[in-house]
Amino acid sequence: MKVTSCLIIALSMCMNVPAQKFVANYDEAKIPAYTLPDPLEGISSAADWPTRREAIRRLIAKEMFGHVPSHTATLEIVPDTEPFKILDGKAIVSQPAIKIAGTTWDLMIIRPANPSSPPPAFIAYNFGGNHTVIPDRGVRLPVSWQRKAKNHKAQEADRGSSARRWDVAALMEAGYALVTLYYGDVDPDMNDGFRDGVHAHFGVPKSDEWGSIATWAWGLSKTLDYLVASKIVDAERVSVLGHSRLGKTSLWAGANDERFALVISNNSGCGGAALSKRAIGETVGRINTSFPHWFNGNFKKYNRNESAMPFDSHMLLALIAPRPLYVASAEQDRWADPHGEFLACVGADPVYRLLGTEGLPSRKMPKLNEPTVGRIGYHIRSGKHDVTAYDWAQYIAFANKHLN
């Protein structure tokens, strides 16, 4: 290195020059020209898809979410001895725990009280602890890293704080169980060099190994292992759902584990359903800067360099095929690029069709609150980045259509 460049570096370090401020583009006219890679490249029949699918899955694992390390971890179940009823006796809440890799994950399973057979289920992480999903005092408080409440009193005050995001009554009415767990139990959502959660057991990941999203996705698969073994729900009819960063997680869980019968992305945005190459709203460079722990080390090379990506989110969505897939956007959630989420569904459609299913019925972005529903479902609802009763109503109808 020349002396002058050394001097410039040293000077800028002393002056603590701030990183260039990120200004999101929201103008479609300013989207860089891009071409989407063809998910069906090199193949012409459904019989060729499994090999192509595995190549795409490995590519996206290597370049973005990260492979799960080969290390094993044994799973132990602590059964719940004190289930209780809610909703005037219409539903039962049980809280078995999974012990794995030095961590404990408290599950909360809410199921209709008198089903004739194990019910189909929705599985979804929650952001704040199971106690934020329903207000009942019988729900255990999380003891791992806390995203919100910092002490016991604050946790108590937080009971039911996100209940409006969980339409438990509608789920019970429609005959579905809800399986939820706190994502912080699996891996605290912090950029700490992968020293906590299950990473303390597995070790610091290599640059092609898992970031937090892949770790959370793995947690959903481990939970599904338990559901299969326990027979508490119908494990062949489990829909995996997630909102925002947990929507990115549900997509990656569904892509890796074909036992998830149906996959739902709620406002997952950049790194989820939205096409990265559009670089509108949140971008790869921005997400990797704000949340460096979400994706693997390799993904950083696409910062401000989306055109070099040999894949995009339409290929992530195609990994779900031919299973039913629902992608939902919200009008005011421009950061998550609703149009890019829809276009990714359009891009995944040829795979669904090659596999003999309906795919996405419309090529045109639907109007507000007018879902387009085939084997791929999509809606853009009015309102902000959120999970609402409207969203749940569409997901329940979609599961009824495809899993009953």
Residues assigned a catalytic role: 244, 385
Residue 174 beta carbon to ligand GTR: minimum distance, rounded to whole angstroms: 27
Contact between 275 and ligand GTR (CB under 6 A)?
Answer: no
Contact between 387 and ligand GTR (CB under 6 A)?
Answer: no
Residue 126 beta carbon to ligand GTR: minimum distance, rounded to whole angstroms: 12
Are 129 and 182 within 8 A, CB to CB? yes
Other Cβ atoms closer than 10 A to 368: 11
Residue 217 beta carbon to ligand GTR: minimum distance, rounded to whole angstroms: 14
Contact between 184 and ligand GTR (CB under 6 A)?
Answer: no
Are 14 and 259 within 8 A, CB to CB? no
Of 234 and 312, the one with the shorter C-beta distance to ligand GTR is: 312
Of 51 and 289, the one with the shorter C-beta distance to ligand GTR is: 289
Which of 192, 198, 200, 193 shows the shortest CA–CA distance to 215? 198
Of 194 and 295, the one with the shorter C-beta distance to ligand GTR is: 295
Of 269 and 347, the one with the shorter C-beta distance to ligand GTR is: 269
The residue from 56, 186, 280, 287 that contacts ligand GTR (CB under 6 A) is: 287
Contact between 244 and ligand GTR (CB under 6 A)?
Answer: yes
Contact between 245 and ligand GTR (CB under 6 A)?
Answer: yes
Amino acid letter for position 277: K
Cis before residue 322, ω within 30 degrees of 0?
yes
Other Cβ atoms closer than 10 A to 372: 19
Of 244 and 394, the one with the shorter C-beta distance to ligand GTR is: 244
Residue 281 beta carbon to ligand GTR: minimum distance, rounded to whole angstroms: 9
Can you read off the two tokens belonging to residue 72?
């094993």
| Helix%, strand%, coil% for the chain, nearest 5 | 40, 15, 45
Of 108 and 251, the one with the shorter C-beta distance to ligand GTR is: 251
Are 374 and 360 within 8 A, CB to CB? yes
Total residues at interface with ligand GTR (CB under 6 A): 7
Which of 283, 307, 218, 212 shows the shortest CA–CA distance to 255? 218
The whole-angstrom distance between residue 163's C-alpha and the CA centroid of its chain comes to: 19
Residue 265 beta carbon to ligand GTR: minimum distance, rounded to whole angstroms: 11
Question: Among the candidate windows 95-103, 147-155, 194-202, 282-290, which touches ligand GTR by CB under 6 A?
Answer: 282-290
Residue 202 beta carbon to ligand GTR: minimum distance, rounded to whole angstroms: 23
The residue from 139, 177, 270, 346 that contacts ligand GTR (CB under 6 A) is: 270
Contact between 146 and ligand GTR (CB under 6 A)?
Answer: no
Buried b (16+ CB within 10 A) or exposed e, 82-91: eeeebbeeeb
Residue 295 beta carbon to ligand GTR: minimum distance, rounded to whole angstroms: 11
Can you read off the two tokens belonging to residue 379?
């809606």
The residue from 142, 269, 281, 340 that contacts ligand GTR (CB under 6 A) is: 269
Which residues have a Cβ under 8 Å from the Cβ of 90 and sit 6 or more positions away? 112, 113, 172
Terminal Cα distance for the chain, rounded: 66
Can you read off the two tokens belonging to residue 248?
């990115």
Are 346 and 40 within 8 A, CB to CB? no
Q: Using DSSP, state whether 218 is helix, strand or coil.
A: helix
Of 290 and 400, the one with the shorter C-beta distance to ligand GTR is: 290
The residue from 158, 187, 209, 282 that contacts ligand GTR (CB under 6 A) is: 282
Contact between 327 and ligand GTR (CB under 6 A)?
Answer: no
- Using CB under 6 A, list all residues that contact ligand GTR: 244-245, 269-270, 282, 287, 290
